[in-house]
A and B are shown apart, each in its own frame.
Chain A
Amino acid sequence: MPSPEIIFVYDFKKEEKKIDDFLKNKEYVSIRSDRESGLNFCPHNLRCPKNKAKRFIKKFISRGYAAILQNYVPIMRDRFSGNILILKNYILMELMEEGPLTWLTREGKVEEQIKIRKSDLKEVEHFGKRLVKKRELVNILKLIKKVPDYIIIEFTLRPEGLYFWQIREDKTAKKLE
């Protein structure tokens, strides 16, 4: 799967060299964060100039987060972005036009929702605008059909293809079965 170059930083001092190597030859980077407890919003800076990156990483780590550095990908070319939630018998896709995907995840901009039966990959429910063409939907489903249950996959479709951002576990999705 195409995906952005990515590193995880847990300890700024010990991993400073890794950060410097990552920042080499880059003008901007995307910095996300994560921590074990899912009860808080994780801070991020999706377009961080190289010279400010270390300051943000330090700040996130000092607040108890792991910092996630990714290649900065300009959102201008995003066609649509979305989350795919894998349930036991269904696959659920929530989509929005363009990006960044954070507008959907953190600000609730859901413009299309598709529920697909896992056994035959047939669409069983649909709400909202049609952002994704059937052929594109089939291609995405083929790529993710072996992903385990209760996982959310974040992605963007760009002219050059699919771009997968991250895969995260959502144990709470069991409550939706």
Chain B
Amino acid sequence: MLTQKIILRGIGVSPGRVEERVKMITFPEEIDGINEKRIIVTAFLFPDFLTSIKRNNLISGIITENGGLTCHASIITRELGIPYIAGARLATRRLKENMIITIDGEGGGNLR
């Protein structure tokens, strides 16, 4: 059995566990173009990003470098039921496009 190593830690702001490929995002329009299930990785979910996330049900997980439990983005992802880890410092540098990772939003926000 393969063991998984914790590669980053953050704050689990919306619970759930999901394993999927990474999609690095800089601009909200990139979310509209996603046509396969992906975990999106970005600096933070600004308002325009959330509008695009609501439109695309292929977003199976979210990781951001900033943010916390009380941010508006966290409340919205909890409503949408999308696992989300915030405050994962260096995520945009350490994670690479198409990397397969596991989000564990209930285990204190670990990324494997």
Chain A residues in the interface with B (C-beta under 8 A): 38-41, 83-85, 92, 94, 104-110, 113, 127, 152, 170, 172-173, 175-176
Contact = CB atoms under 8 A, between A and B. Distances in A.
B6 interface: no
Given A94-B70, A113-B68, A170 B47 contact: no
Interface in B34-51: 44-47, 50-51
Given A41-B47, A105-B72, 16 more contacts: A38-B76, A38-B79, A39-B76, A41-B72, A83-B70, A106-B73, A107-B44, A107-B66, A108-B67, A110-B67, A110-B86, A113-B11, A127-B11, A127-B87, A175-B15, A176-B69
B60 interface: no
Interface string B87-104: 100000000000000000
Contact of A172 (B11, B78, B86): B78
Of the four ranges (under 10, 10 to 19, 20 to 34, 35 or more), the interface on chain B belongs to 20 to 34
B71 interface: yes
B72 A109 contact: no
Nearest to B71: A108
A120 B39 CA distance: 39
B104 to A, nearest CB: 14
Tell me the dominant secondary structure on chain B's binding face: mixed
Interface of B: 11, 14-15, 44-47, 50-51, 54, 64, 66-73, 75-76, 78-80, 86-87
Contacts of A84: 70
A107 B46 CA distance: 6
A104 B45 CA distance: 12
B44 A110 contact: no
Given A39-B54, A41-B47, A109-B66, A170 B75 contact: yes
A108 B45 contact: yes
B48 to A, nearest CB: 9
A149 to B, nearest CB: 14
A113 B70 CA distance: 10
A113 B51 CA distance: 27
A49 B45 CA distance: 29
B79 A172 contact: yes
27 contacts: A38-B75, A38-B76, A39-B54, A39-B80, A41-B50, A85-B69, A92-B69, A94-B71, A105-B71, A106-B73, A108-B44, A108-B45, A108-B64, A108-B67, A109-B66, A110-B67, A110-B71, A110-B86, A113-B68, A113-B69, A127-B11, A170-B75, A172-B78, A173-B78, A175-B14, A176-B15, A176-B78
